[in-house]
Structure 1
Amino acid sequence: MQTDDFQKFQDGIAGVMGFYGKSVSRFALDVWWTALKRYDLAAIVDAFNRHLANPDAGQFAPKPADVIRMLQGSTQDAAMRAWAKVDQAVRSVGTYCDVVFDDALIHRVVQDMGGWIALGAKAEDEWPFVAREFENRYRGFCSRSERPQYPATLIGIAAAHNNLKGFKNDHPVLIGNEQLALQVLRGGTDRPALGLKRMSVALDETVGEALHSQTRLMSEQRKAG
């Protein structure tokens, strides 16, 4: 939350506790604020609503720990849903094409993990560890209510090659909700995560490795099918 959210937060806490016939002291409000300020206000409201509707715990006034438990569960669910999109996109679209997801945070997490091309170069036996790293990073941003800068497009092998050669790129593949993906595209930065000089040194090796990995993955999928 931001400092500007404090009054709404205070009114919300007072309203919830009033529902249980309890008043809230200034000290208690400070405790609530300190415990929950790293979360998004909308997520906190949702967690309170879910606590109130909980048939087991909803009869008791919530404590900060109850709300945090709800919030952490929701961030885990969000991280798992986000990873499912990434996993499906790698397997169905591949990392040869540029992609734009309908979730800006996916772009930032993938960028922090080395980029779209590097993700596609991972071997199948590395995939569970990649999934865990992605989910942990995604949850970290969610729990801190961060809205970090992110690349407008996750660059694939073809675009990386074209950028170095000065060729025109195709339109990126939109993943998920098309309208939301277009919003992500418009809201991102075009600043590359790697300098072009550094990219040119490593590109041949990265592209070859990624293509080899994609070929192996497709072969494994055909055998499994």
Structure 2
Amino acid sequence: MQQSEFPAFRDMLTDVMAYYRQDVSRFVLDLWWNACKPFDLQQLGSAMQRHATDPEHGQFPPKVADMVRILQGTTTDRASLAWGKVLESMSAVGAYTDVVFDDPAIHAAAEDMGGWPKMCRTDLRELGLLQHRFTQSYRAYAERGQFDYPRRLAGDRSPDSEYERAGLKLPRPALIGDPARAKLVYQGGGSGKTAITFASIQTLGHQIAAAIEAPRSAA
């Protein structure tokens, strides 16, 4: 929603809560507005109506979580839909093309699976296991909300440096899903996830010993 839609949003929420004989405080209004801004106002109105007519949930006043459940589904639902999108793209696009999905959690989960080319080359007998691992990883990222992810899933092609050396532009990635949202995913991504660093036990031992000795030397 845009800021200009705030008055209409406020009136709608006030009317809905009045149906349940509840007032809308400024705190509640701000909470709803900040949580629902990613949604379309018309879609939100339809979700309010669906909640009110739900035989099980409609007898209670709506909460933000109810709207998210209706508009986005549970993380399990979203993970299943994401896997379907990935599975179709694996055969339609293939391992040699860079891809940008319209969902950053797909990028993060795909990197956990070893990258786009590896996923595309999964043996048919292993697809069930890949689906299980992917959906588990996807749900973890979707529930976290904020995470690092690669701006694009690189295909099995020549490195970027070879294109630059030859004075060629990088090949355009395939946009999967909603093109506008895929572009936002690309803009918000990075080169990858936070790198994992480690030090050997021996190195750590030397560092700890040096830290212990430092105060003694100063004394």
Partners of 2:121 and 2:98 in 1: CA distance: 15
Superposition deviation, residue 121 in structure 1: 2.8
Superposition deviation, residue 176 in structure 1: 2.1
Partners of 1:69 and 1:100 in 2: CA distance: 24
Residue 166 of structure 2 is aligned to residue 167 of structure 1: no
Q: Are the structure 2 counterparts of residues 115 and 13 from structure 1 closer, same or farther at C-alpha, using a change threshold of 3 Å?
A: same
Report the 3-state secondary structure (helix = DSSP H, G, I; strand = E; otherwise coil) of the residue aligned with 1:158. Answer: coil
Match of 2:110 in 1: 110
CA-to-partner distance for each residue in 1:163-222, whole Å, 9 max, x for gaps? 4xx311422222222232222222211257789xxxxxxxxxxxxxxxxxxxxxxxxxxx
Residue 172 of structure 2 is aligned to residue 177 of structure 1: no
Question: Residues 98 and 154 of structure 1 are in contact (CA less than 8 Å); yes or no, is this contact kept in structure 2?
Answer: yes
Match of 2:211 in 1: none
Question: Residues 82 and 106 of structure 1 are in contact (CA less than 8 Å); yes or no, is this contact kept in structure 2?
Answer: yes
Match of 2:59 in 1: 60
Match of 1:141 in 2: 141
Q: Are the structure 2 counterparts of residues 85 and 51 from structure 1 closer, same or farther at C-alpha, using a change threshold of 3 Å?
A: same
Kindly, what percent of the aligned residue pairs are identical? 30
Match of 2:187 in 1: 186
Partners of 2:48 and 2:61 in 1: CA distance: 8
**What are the ranges of 5 or more consecutive residues in structure 2 without an aligned counterpart?**
1-11, 164-169, 197-219
Q: Are the structure 2 counterparts of residues 63 and 101 from structure 1 closer, same or farther at C-alpha, using a change threshold of 3 Å?
A: closer
Q: Are the structure 2 counterparts of residues 67 and 82 from structure 1 closer, same or farther at C-alpha, using a change threshold of 3 Å?
A: same
Report the 3-state secondary structure (helix = DSSP H, G, I; strand = E; otherwise coil) of the residue aligned with 1:79. Answer: helix
Match of 1:95 in 2: 95
TM-score norm. by structure 2 comes to 0.58
Give the paired residue count. 170
Q: Are the structure 2 counterparts of residues 97 and 59 from structure 1 closer, same or farther at C-alpha, using a change threshold of 3 Å?
A: closer
Question: Residues 108 and 151 of structure 1 are in contact (CA less than 8 Å); yes or no, is this contact kept in structure 2?
Answer: yes
Question: Residues 17 and 61 of structure 1 are in contact (CA less than 8 Å); yes or no, is this contact kept in structure 2?
Answer: no
Higher Rg of the two aligned structures = 2
Structure that is richer in helix per residue: 1
Q: Give the aligned CA root-mean-square deviation in angstroms.
A: 4.0
Match of 2:8 in 1: none
Question: Residues 100 and 181 of structure 1 are in contact (CA less than 8 Å); yes or no, is this contact kept in structure 2?
Answer: yes
CA-to-partner distance for each residue in 1:18-49, whole Å, 9 max, x for gaps? 6334689xxxx9xxx9xxxxxx6569996766
**1:6-155 paired onto structure 2 within 5 Å:** 19-21=19-21, 50-54=50-54, 56-61=55-60, 67=66, 70=69, 73-144=73-144, 146-155=145-154
**What are the ranges of 5 or more consecutive residues in structure 1 without an aligned counterpart?**
1-11, 34-39, 196-225
Question: Residues 95 and 156 of structure 1 are in contact (CA less than 8 Å); yes or no, is this contact kept in structure 2?
Answer: yes
Partners of 1:154 and 1:193 in 2: CA distance: 16
Q: Are the structure 2 counterparts of residues 86 and 13 from structure 1 closer, same or farther at C-alpha, using a change threshold of 3 Å?
A: same
